[in-house]
Amino acid sequence: MKELSKKLKLKRTWQLHVMMVPIVVLLVIFCYVPMIGIVVSFQDYLPTKGFFGSPWVGLDNYRFLFSLNDFFQIIRNTLIISGGKILLGLIISIFFAIMLYESNMRIMKNVVQTSVFLPYFLSWVVLGGIFIDIFSLEGVVNRIISFLGIEPVMFMGHPIWFVIVIIITDVWKVYGYNMIVFYAAIMGIDTALYESATIDGAGRIRQVFAITLPSIAPMIVVMGMLSLGNILNAGFDQIFNMYNPTVMSTADILDTYIYRMGVVSGQYSFATAVGFFKSIVAMILIVTSNWAAKRFAGYRIF
């Protein structure tokens, strides 16, 4: 059979090249040309003069960036928000994956899986509009807590509460995804382990800590590492649709900063420098985390 397929191999690879043409052209125009456009960060780019007419300023934009106090605050905000989302996201999705596995009601499994995925497919424009209302001073959440006798909280206007709301609502939107990944990992555990544990008299909770968690530990590490590769993406879509001037000190992240500096204020060169810094660090993180995930658990994306 091997011999036969060798003989019959499709010889005309030029057709494969032809198929690749459209994507290569588009990638060159919309991905590779902007990479060259990074030179703008070494210029004082003026739209009227273009790439070739704008004056060169060397590393001035980068020196300016690293001298800014704002910059360190933005890095800190990015890492806190991102880190919080990764940590809480892992805990919640593992918790519910285990809960889902432990449930003995088939209908409950279906109900849960159908419900928790819905927010995943809604945009942050829509969800931002909903959450700004729900967490407002007169919103549903404050209604509930004042019913319990607690003072209303300015969730959207308080720098620390805002970050907490950002982390919780993001986890709320996406935890179904990792939940299913962990659920599939749990389903792959050899049921003989549980059977013998039951015979040995181990209770269900004991089994979770003695069997389930150790068995999915490699998967937890892989998911954690892959998220670390994306730690500089603290969620532009979400924050842009939810933040306001009163929470800038804790809510302004790299991407919102780049957007405001570049698109809103028109400081093209400076914003490109910030973007380049982010791209370089992000690339190093993604390559390292994928390498580590592959090495640690044989995970490969391509």
Partner 1 sequence: MKRIEEIPMYRRTKGPLMTIGVIVNNAILLIAAALSLLPILHIIAVSFSENAPANANLVGLIPIGFNLKAYAEAVTDSKMLVALVQTIKRTALGVPVNMILTILCAYPLSYHKKDFPMRTFYSGFVIFTMLFSGGLIPSYILMSRLNLMDTLWALVLPGIPVFNVIIMMNFFREIPEEIKEAAMIDGAEHFTMLTRIILPTSGAVLATLTLFCFVGHWNAWFDALIYMKDLTRYPLQNYIQTQVARMTLSPDLEEAKRLAFISRRSLLFARIFISIVPILIVYPFLQKYFQTGIIVGAVKG
| Residues in 141-170 that interact with partner 1 by CB under 8 A | 143
Instruction: Specify the DSSP class assigned to residue 55.
Output: P
Cα 168 from Cα 175, distance rounded (Å): 10
Q: Which of 46, 68, 122, 217 is the binder for partner 1 (CB under 8 A)?
A: 122
Query: Is 48 one of the binding residues for partner 1 (CB under 8 A)?
Result: no
Instruction: Report helix angle 268-297 to 60-67, nearest 10.
Output: 70
Closest CA to 250 of 165, 175, 170: 165
Only one of the segments 56-64, 66-74, 77-85, 196-204 lies at the binding site for partner 1 (rule: CB under 8 A); that segment is 196-204
> Exposed, middle or buried by CB within 10 Å (0-12, 13-18, 19+), for 25?
exposed
Amino acid at 158: H
The closest alpha carbon to 51, from 38, 36, 62, 40, belongs to 40
Q: How far is the CB of 166 from partner 1 (least distance, A)?
A: 15
* Size of interface with partner 1, in residues (CB under 8 A): 112
Site for partner 1 in 56-95 (CB under 8 A): none
Question: Which of these ranges, 62-70, 75-83, 145-153, 255-263, lies near partner 1 under the rule CB under 8 A?
Answer: 255-263
Using CB under 8 A as the binding rule, the residues of this chain from 8 to 47 that contact partner 1 are: 8-10, 12-13, 15-17, 19-20, 22-24, 26-27, 29-38, 40, 45, 47
Q: How far is the CB of 62 from partner 1 (least distance, A)?
A: 14
Applying CB under 8 A, does 234 fall inside the site for partner 1? no
CB of 17 to partner 1, least distance (A): 7
State which of positions 201-230 bind partner 1 (CB under 8 A).
203-205, 219
Query: Residue 30 gets which letter from DSSP?
Result: I
Residue 27 CA from chain centroid, whole number:
23
Q: How far is the CB of 153 from partner 1 (least distance, A)?
A: 16
Which H/E stretch holds residue 131?
helix 124-134
